[in-house]
Amino acid sequence: MRTLFVILCFLGVSCIGLSQRTSEVGPFLGGTYYLGDLNHKHFFMSRSAFGMVHRYILNAHFSLKNSFLYGTVAGDDSKSKNRNQIKRNLHFRSSIFDIATELEFNFFPFDQQKQTVKPNAERYYFSPFVFIGISLFSFNPQANHSGTWFELQPLGTEGQGTIAYPSKSKYPLTQLSIPLGGGVKYYITKKITLAFEWGIRKTFTDYLDDISTTYANPEAISAEKGPVAKSLSNSSLYEENIVDHQRGDSKTNDYYAFAGAILTVKISTKYVKQKCHGTN
């Protein structure tokens, strides 16, 4: 991940400094969802999302995009068709604040500005594209108890941060992820671009939904964190004792995704002769 970050920074600095032509900005409007222990289906339980995008057009094929996106992801065992999930009876919601830098690649020469396309070269008014990047995101899983939403991380629902489970530490609520995805973009006018994209974020945490390992001892949770923590750590419909039984799948980290439309307007253009390394 550190190597990817260095490569993106190098590309961004070298291309922006030597061959930046156009800057454009605009809103993102769409939806977001997550994949993890409480949901295994793409687009299931999607919720609305919005944000802002700032794009540097480096040349006809490459752009460097910076974005700030916000949305809420959720999951609920009661909406599953899996009997074991229904009996587990857990749920959550979490706001997602996502700041990302991505390198976009256009499959077709996509640029209405002559300075970034060879003279007499064919230019396209639309192009499919792919992207990869790095993002910093924050999350804060919550669950409902008796009509009130409680933040789950401070409650240590799997024993994190408790004396009874010294080997389990609290998970950080701000982390890195790897965005990757694609879409299609279209020039409405020479200054306005409409893009539709889908991008998934590969995270390095299994606690986006506050579920990862095994059930903690409810009495230990109650003694240190209180009755609400005890209830939210184990709301299962199982009658037998399930302490230390599997609560989640710790082998697979969680994902979240954004999908929607981006409408950008050109706000500046620089005419320079320098070129990005590796471009003509």
pLDDT at 239: 78
Q: Mean pLDDT of successive 10-residue segments in the chain (280 residues)?
A: 50 44 92 98 98 94 97 97 95 99 95 56 84 99 98 98 95 98 95 97 98 96 96 91 94 98 87 48
Contact (CB, 8 A) for 69 and 187: no
The model carries a pTM of: 0.86
CATH of 2-269, one of 1.10.3080.10, 2.40.160.20, 2.70.70.10, 3.20.20.190: 2.40.160.20
Cα(first)–Cα(last) distance of the chain, in Å? 29
- Domain locations in the chain as residue ranges: 2-269
pLDDT at 110: 86
Q: What burial class does residue 66 get, using C-beta atoms within 10 Å of its C-beta: 0-12 exposed, 13-18 middle, 19+ buried?
A: middle
How far is it, in rounded angstroms, from Cα 35 to Cα 55?
28
